[in-house]
Amino acid sequence: MGRPNPEVYALLDFEHYRQVYKNTLDEMFSHNQKDINEHLCTYGPSQGVINGHVSRWLSIDENIHAAENDIFITNGCQEAYNLILLHELREESDCVLIIEPTYFGFNDCVSVLGKSSVTVSVNDVSDEAGAFQFENLTALIAEFKSQGKNTRLLYINPDFNNPMTYRLSESEKATLLAVCHQNGVKIIEDSTYSGFYFDGERGHSIKSQDPHGLVYYVGSFSKVMCPSLRLGYLILNQSDAATRADILHIKDHTSLSTSALNQQIVAGFLIHYGYSVEAWVRPIREEYQRRRNAMVEVLQSELDGSPIKWQPPQGGFFVFLKLPFSITSKDLIHCVENYQVTFMPVSYFSRREGKVINGIRLAFSYYEPEIIEQGTREFCKFLKERFL
Ligand SMILES: Cc1ncc(COP(=O)(O)O)c(C=O)c1O
């Protein structure tokens, strides 16, 4: 399962974070309980109530310097996608470019909103060795244009991609930015897994390298803290009053606002950690790394010499296996029923029937290393008995 490690939940001290935030409110409102209650309990400003805290944290931990006015506190990444798509895609010809396979939360959002997309395969923009060739996008965008499709946006989850696990190098990010600039395409950068790197350091986001004001930056507290908060954030591509007003208008008329009660928990958490949550994330990341290692060691010993191709991921929650055969829902059910292991066929992350990549996404985030090891052995047994 691609869910966060549930052991983290027990470590979250919600009451304490609320108290920490309440202490700052006591100061801010000179202990006036009526004003404090108003701040916590009424319909809050649509844009959010903890934007200043998030701004401070992002500048320390992610080297992103956004004014609080350019940040929206959202109901998860999911709402951030909604806001951007509704704001940017106005005409029938306006499209978002999706590099498939792609996180289905984004794909589904595009469909549900009835917005148009153009899709390319990850194979169209990378070479045999997996290095990205974003230069190829220029010709593809021109081809879409000749079909009456105007590519206005591109969605990418560049660090420890779900489901492909790739991490764009600094130069690949720079090329993507340059190509998008050249073609008048804005970028939605989904940073959900960027803090969960196992080797080296956190890389630079595309956003932090963007001189053109192209990048909408979308992030989530679902993995750093827990998904039930339903809290994420959107940083505008540029500090622009008209964009801000329009997105505010959309949020006002869709979700109205994001729970102020949940926002106070997150603000208290950020204050508690002095606006750098590195001390909190480090042990969580190290545990994910142990789980990754447990899975990788079994795959190495069991699949060595097989035609299945894969790379140990450098971060995130998943391993991607490239298969020389297709895999169906029937195979998945067979594996669940007979080996008690579940996985995601990568075809579930594509909308282009017939042009999907044959592959499997395995998740190591949820279970402890011993179970991961056992499950991976069973999974390899399934592959061998059914396909190899
Ligand atoms: C790439 C990616 N973005 C976003 C999310 C979810 O974000 P949120 O819970 O903030 O909507 C996920 C969850 O699996 C994900 O894989």
Predicted pLDDT of residue 261: 93
According to DSSP, residue 153 is labeled E
Between helix 33-41 and helix 14-28 the angle, nearest 10°, is 130
CA of 237 to the centre of ligand 1 (A): 20
Per DSSP, what are the bridge partners of residue 157? none
Percent of the chain at pLDDT exceeding 70:
99
Nearest partner of 125 among 102, 148, 152, judged by Cα? 102
CA of 192 to the centre of ligand 1 (A): 6
Is 222 close to ligand 1, i.e. is its CB under 6 Å away?
yes
- Residues 135-144, buried b or exposed e (16+ Cβ, 10 A)? eebeebbeeb
Which of 220, 230, 262 is the best mutation target for the ligand 1 pocket, counting ligand atoms within 8 Å of the beta carbon and taking the most? 220
CB of 77 sitting under 6 A from ligand 1:
yes
Closest to 222 (Cα-Cα) out of 103, 76, 17? 76
Ligand 1 touching residue 76 (CB < 6 A): yes
183-233 residue pLDDT tens: 999 999 999 999 999 988 888 999 999 999 999 999 999 999 999 999 999
Residue to substitute in 5, 79, 81, 162 for testing ligand 1 pocket (most ligand atoms within 8 angstroms of CB): 162
352 against 179, higher pLDDT:
179
The torsion angles phi and psi of 40, rounded to 5 degrees, stand at: -85, -30
**Which atom of ligand 1 approaches the CA of 231 most closely?**
10
The kind and range of the H/E element at 172 are: helix 170-182
Ligand 1 atom, smallest distance to 79 CA: 11
Residue 357 alpha carbon to ligand 1 centre in Å = 21
pLDDT, tens digit, for every residue of 44-103? 899 999 999 999 999 999 999 999 999 999 999 999 999 999 999 999 999 999 999 999
User: Which residue out of 82, 83, 102, 103 has the highest number of ligand 1 atoms within 8 Å of its CB and is therefore the one to mutate?
Assistant: 103
Give the list of residues 6+ apart from residue 132 with CB closer than 8 angstroms, or none.
125, 126, 166, 168, 169, 172, 175, 176
Question: Is residue 3 lining ligand 1, measured as CB closer than 6 Å?
Answer: no
Q: Kindly tell me the sign of the dihedral angle through the C-alpha atoms of 364, 103, 360, 123.
A: negative
Which one is predicted more confidently, 1 or 129?
129
Ligand 1 atom 3, closest CA = 192
Domains in the chain: ranges and CATH: 7-272 (3.40.640.10), 279-386 (3.90.1150.10)
pLDDT at 355: 73
Residue by residue, DSSP assigns 290-308 as: HHHHHHHHHHHHHHTTSS-
Find out whether the beta carbon of 78 lies less than 6 Å from any atom of ligand 1: yes
**Pairing state of beta strands 215-220 and 186-190?**
parallel
| 302-356 pLDDT, tens digit each | 999 999 999 999 999 999 999 999 999 999 999 999 999 999 999 999 987 667 8
Does residue 165 line the site of ligand 1, with CB under 6 A?
A: no
Which of helix, strand or coil describes residue 48?
A: coil
Mean pLDDT score of the chain:
95
For the chain, give the number of residues: 388
Q: Is residue 372 a contact partner of residue 290, using CB atoms and an 8 Å limit?
A: no
Ligand 1 centroid vs 220 CA: distance in angstroms? 7
3-state secondary structure of 71: strand
Distance 191 CA to ligand 1 centre (A): 9
Ligand 1 centre to CA of 5 (Å) is: 15
User: Looking at ligand 1, which residue's alpha carbon is closest to its atom 2?
Assistant: 192
β-sheet bridge partners, residue 99? 120
For residue 154, the CA-to-ligand 1 centroid distance in Å is 17
Q: Is the pLDDT of residue 2 over 90?
A: no
Residue 189 CB less than 6 A away from ligand 1? no
- Asked whether 232 lines ligand 1 (CB < 6 A), one says yes
Tell me which residue has its CA closest to atom 10 in ligand 1: 76
